[in-house]
Amino acid sequence: MRPESPRALAVRLLLEVERGGRAQLLLDRALDRLDWPERDRAYTTHLLYGTLRHLRLLDFFLEPLLPRPEGLPPTVRWILRLGAWEWLAGKPDHARVSPWVEETKRVAPRLAGLVNAVLRHLQPREAPQCVRLSLPEWLCQAWRTYFGSLDFAQGFNEPAPLFVTAYRPVPGLRPGPLPDSYLWEGPKTDFSALGLQPQNPASLFAVQLLNPAPGEKVLDLCGGAGLKAFYLAAKGAEVVSYDLNPKRQEAGRRTAAKLGLRVAYRTQDLREPLPEKAKKVLLDAPCTGTGTFRSHPELRYRLAPQDPRCMAKLQLMLLETAAQATEEGGVLVYSVCTLTEEEGEGVARAFLADHPEFVPEPFLCPLPVLKAGLGVYVAPEGGLDGFYYLRLRKVNSRA
């Protein structure tokens, strides 16, 4: 059934997110099926992402007015959170309360009076920093201990700009923070037809750290659909992209064909040795994704304290495979879109303790640095994802 309004669609999508769906994927699929003006599409996005990014804070404001929120139907609870988000975002009462009351009448008529009363009586009150940021307590404590402050985390709750990587010259685009990265300021379109690919600059920088020469062979490990491989191929590299998921690779093949780029795809469990080596190897490893909370806000509520340690074990296994695939004198770049100690410097320390044949190679980072030491953490500022990078040189092979 077609939703009647951006508000109705936002409610439905949030219910699907609560059941385990991915907000970005659900929103894109829904809007692709709807012939809505850009204003309505943008407002649905504002409602969905704003509510998820500020969820803990919204519940904090609703708490004094809802003694037992868990007893409400999920639909009504999301309606209250959405109405609270509009209040927090500055929408006046006359423009926000009545639409949510009408939406409640459609799905739970007996609770329309409750929704009306609650949304009209919201009051500001001082919230703890972790609640203001809508982050889990365990992660706040870990970040305070490791980074010394939580100030950087405010960036996760700001609107997300759309960055694109250009594989050929495209006039009229506003430059981003890196070469070949630009800000896209119009509605979404067929980017491949324009020689563009949506990509966060923090993700792009992991690829640029390899700096391959034209014709040089590069192994892209855990490459997924090959987003980073596309850029390498556009620079003239001979790219082989490995991943365990053949469906993502098939999607990558189609995109590469539209872009006119050549990427070789090979499907393999990367916990097992590769059948080939190269002088340039990129491992953008699976991770907890704490650096992507801006574009995947629901992820912050799904992580558990033990998840970074569990992911670090997998990352070390994958790094072992990448090390064996790196030729002597070659460069291995390890990157993750997360800001945990365990998956960044922790993995680096553990790997180097067992691999004296590799040495860290310093590099200049043009992006805002959150912490630098054994590798570099990039801060989620100005629309950037949070990332960790480590560049290693294989100085000699062990017997």
For residue 358, the SS3 value is strand
- Which among 34, 62, 52 is positioned nearest to 6, based on CA atoms? 34
Catalytic member of 130, 222, 337, 365: 337
Q: Binning pLDDT at 50, 70 and 90, where does residue 94 land?
A: confident
195: left (phi over 0), alpha (psi -120 to 50) or beta: left
Element (H, E) at 393: strand 387-394
Q: Say whether pLDDT at 169 is over 90.
A: no
Any catalytic annotation for residue 337? yes
Q: How far apart are CA 111 and CA 155, in angstroms?
A: 36
What is the tens place of the pLDDT at every residue in 234-257?
999 999 999 999 999 999 999 999
pTM over 0.75: yes
- Which among 199, 195, 251, 259 is positioned nearest to 225, based on CA atoms? 251
What is the tens place of the pLDDT at every residue in 206-224?
999 999 999 999 999 999 9
Q: Say whether pLDDT at 317 is over 60.
A: yes
Kindly state the percentage of the chain with pLDDT values over 90: 94
* Torsion, CA 75, CA 80, CA 84, CA 87, rounded to 10: 110
Q: Say whether pLDDT at 170 is over 90.
A: no
Q: Say whether pLDDT at 95 is over 70.
A: yes
pLDDT of 2: 53
